[in-house]
Structure 1
Amino acid sequence: MRKLVRIPRRKPLEEAEIIVIPMIDVMMFLLFFYMVASLAMVIQAGLPVNLPKASTASNHSSQNITITIQRDGATFLNTTPTPLNRLADALRALHVTDKDLVIINADKDVLHGVVVEAMDQARQAGVTQFAIAAVK
């Protein structure tokens, strides 16, 4: 006598789905992480000087053009030594526009007239936006 073995019928498999929302969350996290990390890697182009303190100072680290005036009166455009009377020509050589921000990075013991002369030279080159560097 033969016995019949019944094999239960399988349920049909559900179709696999890709859940997109966790993937979007991970991609947004990576995007923000790399944006913040890239901001931390930008280095200011100026030379170190003894900056004055200001309670409202902010950290600007992503600017391209820095005019540094040291205590002894030496003037630098980014890191290149530039005489104060040749600063406008050097800025024109960098092709500055009125949208560029120039940071004045002057030592706290530099005379005010020297800073004004540097700003005047930059204005002659077409610069209209300035920032004065300070530390908190």
Structure 2
Amino acid sequence: MKLKSTRKSISSTMLISMTDVVFLLIIFLLIVSNFSSQCGLTVKLPISSTSSRHTLQNIEINIYKNGKIYYNDTPMSIKELADALSSGFTDENSIVRISAEADIALQRVIDIMDVVKASGYDRIFVATENVAR
């Protein structure tokens, strides 16, 4: 006559707790990780006490003091920018982020905003740095 063993399998309980630990580590790393896309070009932004953070950034335009314009890290003139924006227009919900250096003339930023608006984009914002109150 065979006797039944009352001993549980240790390997199955250890495996279940090990998978729980692995999933918790993955969740922890996803929460702690910083997933932000940064351009390779640095722009010294103007300061604003009412600025807010936007997470959806489809199109980035950087304007520098020396007159250079970068469209998604590609240098171009205003005419080339207008052509690129018009040919790349796919969705009116696309967001255009304009980063202009603090010392640049306001008229230059307005000219770029006019080009963006004429290309069909309605959601435009100017990036600023938030100053602590």
Taking the aligned partners of 1:57 and 1:28, their CA distance within structure 2 comes to 35
Q: Given the alignment of the two structures, is residue 94 of structure 1 paired with residue 51 of structure 2, yes or no?
A: no
Structure 2-normalised TM-score?
A: 0.70
Q: Which residue in 1 is equivalent to 2:6? A: 13
Greater relative contact order: 1 or 2 (C-alpha under 8 angstroms, separation 6 or more)?
2
What are the within-5 Å matches in structure 2 for residues 29-44 of structure 1? Answer: 29-34=25-30, 36-37=32-33, 39-40=35-36, 42-44=37-39
Matched with 2:102 is 108
Aligned to 2:23: 27
Gaps of 5+ in 2: none
Segments of structure 1 that go 5 or more residues without pairing to the other structure are 1-8
CA 1:95–1:128: 2 relative to 1, 3 Å? same
Return the letter of the residue paired with 1:68.
N
Higher strand share: 2
User: After TM superposition, which residue ranges in structure 1, 4 or more long, deviate above 6 angstroms?
Assistant: none
TM-score, length-scaled by structure 1:
0.68
Change (3 A) 1:34 1:14: same
Cα distance in 1 between the residues matched to 2:46 and 2:18: 48
Pair member with larger Rg? 1
Equivalent residue pairs, number = 126
Q: Secondary structure at the match of 2:93?
A: coil
1:66: Cα distance to partner?
A: 1.0
Please report how far the alpha carbon of residue 104 of structure 1 lies from its aligned counterpart in structure 2 after TM superposition: 0.5
* Cα distance between partner residues in 2 of 1:100 and 1:36: 28
How many angstroms apart in 1 are the aligned matches of 2:28 and 2:85? 34
> Counterpart of 2:80 in 1: which secondary structure?
helix
Give the aligned residue type for 1:119: M
The aligned counterpart of 1:50 is 44
Deviation at 1:90, TM superposition (A): 1.1
The correspondence for 1:68, drawn from 47, 62, 68, is 62
How far apart, in 2, do the equivalents of 1:32 and 1:95 lie?
38
